[in-house]
Amino acid sequence: MTKIIAVLGCGLIGLNWAEAFLNAGFGVQCWDPNENVQSQINALRDRFSGAKIDYFSRVEEAVKGVEFVQESGPERLEVKRALYQDIENALGAETIVASSTSTIMPSDLQQGLSYAARFVIGHPFNPPHILPLVEVVGGNLTSEATVNKAYDFYAAVGKQPIKLHVERMGHLANRIQAAVWRESIDAVASGQASVADVELAVTAALGPRWALMGQFETFDLAGGEGGMANFLGDIGSAIEALWDDAQRPVMTDELKVKIIAETKKLVGEREFADKINRRDEFLKAVLAAK
């Protein structure tokens, strides 16, 4: 019997989650307050011939009989809390509810829920139907069993989950991304480089390397035969000095106009769907090569 997953919120992230679940052989029960999403759900059904994916106009119906709920609604605390209350009486006794939130911490979301012990963050990285990372983190009321079950579930979907043992705003990957974004904006704001050259610094140097290895393995190699011990004892101090030199750029209206104009010039006049397809095909090729 096909296991059924509920997807609540069928925007870009929710629909991509639905695609990921269908790819893994699960059935999907969808809900979104905008009934116009039915056409996109029908398109997914056509693509996955014979797959079970259905739309429900009432959120309580969408979560009935499911083992796992993936919520991807608006990134607003009050909206998510209201949704969790709406499904409370319709959930199974062992159903896990996971949120895709990228910024809100689980302890803030699970307050007042009778199923708080079965609530967890399962944060994907966009696009979730392609990129394998899922950050799993519980709140102060989440049971360890729930964290472990969520981890195992995402692994069964074909993802590469990681457990985060401390709640932090933005979780992990987005905090790393935010640090790089800060330096990228500062480079443009200070006049050090153009938007196009900042992009090239990533895509022609850091990005290809990061597709294969992260910072720790990169710097282990940078340490030569002595590895990380040599790096931390010698080269690392030069890198640490850059932390002291880092600064938070001020995002003025003038700077925003400059960034928008240079980015538009960089990406060109392609349709949004074309940009998404280009990104997705490149990501698939990189992951396949890896």
Query: Confidence class of residue 269 from pLDDT cuts 50, 70 and 90?
Result: confident
This prediction has a pTM of: 0.93
Least confident of 129-133, 149-153, 269-273: 269-273
Structure tokens at 232: 């931390």
> Given this model, what pLDDT does residue 15 score?
96
Structure tokens at 229: 């011990």
> Given this model, what pLDDT does residue 270 score?
86
> Do 17 and 64 reside in the same domain of the chain?
yes
Last-in-domain residue among 128, 163, 198:
163
Inform me whether the pLDDT recorded for 2 exceeds 70: no
In a domain, residue 168? The reply is: no
Nearest to 119 by CA among 84, 92, 153, 154: 84
Inform me whether the pLDDT recorded for 9 exceeds 90: yes
In a domain, residue 201? The reply is: yes
> DSSP assignment of 20-87, as one string?
HHHHTT-EEEEE-S-GGGHHHHHHHHHHSTT--EEEESSHHHHTTT-SEEEE---S-HHHHHHHHHHH
In a domain, residue 199? The reply is: yes
pLDDT digit string (tens) for 183-205?
A: 999 999 999 999 999 999 999 99
The domain of 256 spans 173-289
Average pLDDT, the chain: 95
Going by the DSSP 8-state scheme, the letter that residue 111 receives in this structure is T
> Given this model, what pLDDT does residue 262 score?
96
> Do 64 and 89 reside in the same domain of the chain?
yes
In a domain, residue 74? The reply is: yes
pLDDT digit string (tens) for 204-217?
A: 999 999 999 999 99
> Do 240 and 269 reside in the same domain of the chain?
yes
What is the total count of domains within the chain?
2
Inform me whether the pLDDT recorded for 100 exceeds 60: yes
Q: Taking residues 50-60, what's their average pLDDT?
A: 93
> Do 25 and 148 reside in the same domain of the chain?
yes
Inform me whether the pLDDT recorded for 98 exceeds 90: yes
Nearest to 124 by CA among 3, 279, 19, 272: 19
- Percent of the chain whose predicted confidence (pLDDT) is above 70: 99
Query: Confidence class of residue 50 from pLDDT cuts 50, 70 and 90?
Result: confident
> Given this model, what pLDDT does residue 250 score?
96
Nearest to 216 by CA among 205, 204, 202, 231: 231
| CATH, residue 9 | 3.40.50.720
> Do 122 and 253 reside in the same domain of the chain?
no
Last-in-domain residue among 163, 196, 217:
163
